[in-house]
Amino acid sequence: MRFLLKLIFLLILAAPLVGAGLVYLAVDTAPSVNRTAEITPANIERAKRILEQNDPRRLRRGAHRTVAVSASDLDLAANYLARQYAGGSARVRLRRGAINAAASVRLPMIPWDVYGNVAVALAGNGAWPRLVSLRVGKLPIPPWLAERLIPILVAKLFNGADPHALFSTIKNVTVNEKALSLTYEWQADLPEKLRTALLSQADRERLRLYQESLAAVSRSWDTRQVSLTELLVPLFALAAERSKDDNGVAENRAAILILTLYVNGRGIEQFLPEAKDWPRPARHTVLLAGRDDFPRHFIISAALAAKAGGPLADAVGVYKELADARGGSGFSFNDIAADRAGTRFGEAAAGSATARSLQQRLRSGINETDLMPRTDDLPEFMPEAEFKRRYGGLDASPYKKMIAEIERRIAVLPLYR
């Protein structure tokens, strides 16, 4: 009995030391991966092609589709996601039958530079690659333990979604030096599984409240056309009321998403079936600076920046203008200005230090000139040949000079200071 008591006493004393030792091994004073994240219009073009080939409206239950992502695009996407959602960096390298990935994240709420560095190796082709190794800092995690912990972590990150149900749709993964190919089986309930993973019940309730607010406000207007400011002010006033106990980011994102769907003439029930019973807003044409295209550019960029970050929003805007230059309405620096202003708005709405102040500014009322810079002197409607002749392309000095001028005009607007 005395021996057992001594053993228990020693274990009690040793436990904090063991824990401290594990923490020491798990963290580092420098990141193992430190890279910038850059999205280009060419990346957007490739992503668009993948989405078009896997449009769920074209898929039948049980249909199989294969998505191929190049090694460079996979590496870029992983790094961008790490940068946007964790403030870190990531790197993915492919070899025949193997995936090696690493990520670094600065640990929050610690006054000095401490990083979590993670390295993982996967091997084999088939339904799902096999976990070979996982290392957190200098601490190796046994594969059998990691395989039990990862589903728990995925469920926690994605609103309790069953990772096995999601992974069961994946039928084959093939890896070589150039690309990763993933074959999946389309299931009728897959959209709902993904919605559950991406939208918590709290998120859905927020969307319902902003939909109800928009419905009430839109029915009070007796004109066919309204300014974008008439949408932003009441919805962000509601966001301010509901953000007394937090930083307001989630409320702002919900308000922007509802406005994005409305401005673009889409109903939220197209994406969230349960919303078919929610109040529907009255239809109005939304204008900004007297134009009906500016609100679409502005709010889509705001939604992208609020959820996925400014670089992606800017790249999407430039991609759209290049596509227009090739066969649409032509390249427009006016539209770029609306895109960039929307990006600044979305970044402010999703910034933990700026979300509440933006709510208060909007709540007190704004003018259109608070949202958008002057654009009447900017070139637009340029076919591709004219755009290249005058501005040389996206890497040329004349183009960069024009973008810098647009950014300067946005930066001096009081709303974005």
C-alpha 136, offset from chain centre: 26
* Per-residue pLDDT reduced to its tens digit, 366-401: 999 999 999 999 998 998 899 999 999 888 999 999
Residue 183 structure tokens: 């074959």
Residue 296 contacts residue 329 (beta carbons within 8 Å): no
CA distances, 153 to each of 91, 134, 224 (Å):
21, 14, 49
Pick from 10-24, 234-248, 286-300, 308-322: least confident:
10-24
Whole-number Å distance between alpha carbons of 307 and 345 = 12
Mean of the pLDDT values across residues 304-330?
A: 74
* Per-residue pLDDT reduced to its tens digit, 107-141: 776 667 778 888 999 887 777 788 889 888 888 88
Residue 224 contacts residue 287 (beta carbons within 8 Å): no
Residue 244 above 50 pLDDT? yes
Per-residue b or e along 185-204, where b marks 16 or more CB atoms closer than 10 Å to that residue's CB: bbbeebeebebbbebeeebb
Whole-number Å distance between alpha carbons of 348 and 365 = 17
Q: List the Cα angle 37/264/270 in 5-degree steps.
A: 90
For 129, which DSSP code? P
The burial class, CB within 10 Å (0-12 / 13-18 / 19+), for 266 is exposed
Domain extent listing, the chain? 26-188, 199-416
Alpha helices by DSSP H, 124-227: 143-157, 163-167, 190-198, 201-219
Mean of the pLDDT values across residues 62-85?
A: 83
